[in-house]
């Protein structure tokens, strides 16, 4: 594995960095205070990203497409998964909440990319899709989903309630996880694309949150909500042998992207704290670690942890680009980056003292924003459980 960023992505990375500094940072505090207000500035930015994506590898939420489809390729491939992660890092260096609310870049788009068939990929390619998994009685254990989908002719009738749906009000459609048969457990869980405005689907309220305030987080109810059978993503048949693997492929795609968000947010804090204390740091790293000041040693340690998280994330993305199973590596990246991101942003607030705690700086905002990046798409504890199952070759029923 080459530890340098692929040269072909340099222009894309530079463009994303410029956007973060010149577009997202200047309006970051404005929309943090105006919770639930939609940043109109993102409409123009989304058009720019669409243009970048037309060229192949850009900042594309549907990063997993190349993992399972297309012609068989040989040799090393750096494709959509790596380019998306690198772009996400830079965008979240500007503002993680705005990255999450970017039009047509929803987490549901990654779900579509992971499990949709070719016809569905074409039909839904221009939609902005949110993802609805969590329920009032179902958090980290996605297999405990109680929302139902009942077949009725050429349609499915969906009933249930979803909470913490990112971009649930703004998105064009919502990818809803529901069970076809509660008796069959996790094997019967499928995902459905429900377009905005479908009768029976209602946004009940928007949540007020600690961080990522610019991103709308919705509670959505489904009461006798009818969707075409063709909107069930992937294979409609219940395969008990395969179990939950089909819909879980979604997380192999989204978890490295959430890890990239944490890395970008932590990068912003690290660079700012290094700027504040630049006179006390050795820019060339010539001073041995044990001879450095306590302040410098703490910053150097954070840099090392950050770099480890970044490389683990790129490894998970590289494996996806080269069609290698990456479930364990995706969880490793998410666990490492989520934890390190929290630690770095909070430590930078602490080191900056009063400067870090007040609203004149963005350090306190980055600390608040980073917390969710260790929680959604599977908490720290769930990631460690998944990693243990993969390492020990245990099923979810054998290792709880």
Indicate if 54 belongs to the active site. Answer: no
Q: Residues 90, 135, 305, 377: which is the catalytic one?
A: 377
CA angle at residue 61 from 230 to 331, to 5 degrees? 100
Q: Which two tokens stand for residue 314?
A: 């790129």
What span, in angstroms and rounded, lies between the C-alpha atoms of 200 and 157? 9
Q: Which two tokens stand for residue 228?
A: 């075409």
160: CB partners within 8 A, 6+ apart: 135, 145, 146, 147, 148, 178, 221, 222
Beta bridge partners of 219: 205
Collect all residues with Cβ–Cβ distance below 8 Å to 229 and sequence separation of at least 6.
Answer: 151, 154, 155, 156, 236
Q: Are 100 and 77 in contact (CB under 8 A)?
A: no
Closest CA relative to residue 232, chosen from 135, 325, 342, 152:
152
| Catalytic residue annotation | 377
């Amino acid at each position: 594995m080459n530890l340098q960023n692929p040269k072909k992505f340099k222009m894309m990375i530079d463009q994303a960095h410029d956007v973060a500094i010149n577009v997202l940072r200047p309006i970051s505090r404005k929309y943090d205070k105006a919770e639930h207000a939609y940043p109109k500035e993102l409409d123009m930015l989304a058009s720019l990203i669409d243009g970048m994506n037309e060229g192949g590898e850009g900042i594309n939420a549907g990063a997993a497409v190349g993992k399972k489809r297309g012609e068989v390729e040989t040799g090393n491939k750096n494709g959509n998964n790596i380019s998306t992660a690198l772009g996400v890092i830079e965008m979240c260096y500007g503002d993680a909440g705005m990255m999450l609310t970017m039009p047509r870049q929803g987490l549901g788009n990654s779900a579509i990319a992971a499990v949709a068939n070719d016809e569905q990929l074409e039909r839904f390619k221009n939609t902005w899709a949110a993802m609805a998994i969590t329920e009032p009685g179902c958090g980290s254990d996605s297999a405990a989903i109680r929302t139902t989908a009942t077949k009725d002719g050429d349609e499915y009738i969906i009933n249930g309630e979803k909470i913490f749906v990112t971009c649930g009000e703004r998105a064009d459609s919502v990818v809803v996880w529901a069970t076809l048969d509660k008796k069959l457990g996790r094997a019967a869980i499928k995902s459905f694309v429900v377009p905005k405005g479908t009768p029976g689907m209602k946004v009940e309220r928007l949540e007020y949150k600690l961080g990522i305030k610019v991103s709308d987080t919705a509670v959505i109810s489904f009461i006798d909500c009818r969707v075409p059978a063709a909107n069930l993503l992937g294979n409609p048949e219940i395969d008990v042998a395969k179990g939950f693997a089909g819909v879980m492929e979604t997380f192999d795609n989204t978890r490295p992207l959430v890890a990239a968000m944490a890395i970008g947010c932590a990068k912003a804090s690290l660079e700012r704290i290094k700027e504040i204390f630049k006179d006390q740091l050795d820019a060339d790293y010539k001073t041995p670690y044990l001879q450095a000041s306590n302040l410098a040693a703490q910053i150097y340690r954070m840099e090392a942890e950050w770099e480890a998280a970044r490389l683990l994330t790129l490894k998970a993305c590289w494996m996806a680009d080269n069609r290698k199973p990456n479930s364990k590596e995706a969880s490793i990246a998410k666990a490492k980056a989520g934890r390190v991101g929290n630690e770095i942003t909070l430590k930078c607030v602490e080191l900056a003292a009063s400067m870090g705690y007040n609203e004149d700086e963005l350090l306190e905002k980055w600390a608040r924003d980073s917390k969710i990046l260790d929680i959604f798409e599977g908490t720290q504890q769930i990631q460690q459980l998944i990693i243990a199952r993969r390492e020990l070759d245990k099923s979810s029923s054998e290792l709880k």
